[in-house]
Amino acid sequence: MLRRAIAGVLSVRMSGFAFCGGANGTVLEDARTFYTATGSEIDPIALSGIGRVDLAVVGRAYYSGEATCAELLRSDADAARLSHAFIAESGLGLVYEFSSGATESCGAQPAIVPWEEVARHGEPQGALRDIAHRATAGQR
């Protein structure tokens, strides 16, 4: 999914489904984020100002997948790891990679952590600081 540029940043989110033998396929997810002016890639997780482990915990409350996946994510710290992130207009999108034994479709739905929460839990840097500020300025 190609998202429109926000404050000079463009996130591209890619999803697919693959069969590698066996009864069930696997959801494949990836995202890349770039500065539109230079084309250089940026890491939204690093720019969030929140440590990777803490961000993964914060994001669990905003996971938008089916109820069984959400419960698994919230109740078992080893069920999934934070794989990558993308920038959405409403917040920082987080994609979790679920361990084997979890429902194959769980990773297809992201958690969108609202910009207010990103700013509350950390100090966003660079483009994320600008995006979070723009998103929250109208709400104060």
pTM of the model: 0.84
Mean pLDDT of 4-12: 81
Residue 27 pairs in a beta bridge with 17
Residue 55 pLDDT > 90: yes
Q: How many helical (H) and strand (E) elements, i.e. helices and strands, does the chain have?
A: 5, 6
Cβ–Cβ < 8 Å for 92, 85? yes
Q: Return the SS3 of 8.
A: coil
Q: What percent of the chain has pLDDT over 90?
A: 39
- pLDDT tens per residue, range 92-136: 999 988 876 656 667 678 899 999 999 999 999 988 888 888 887
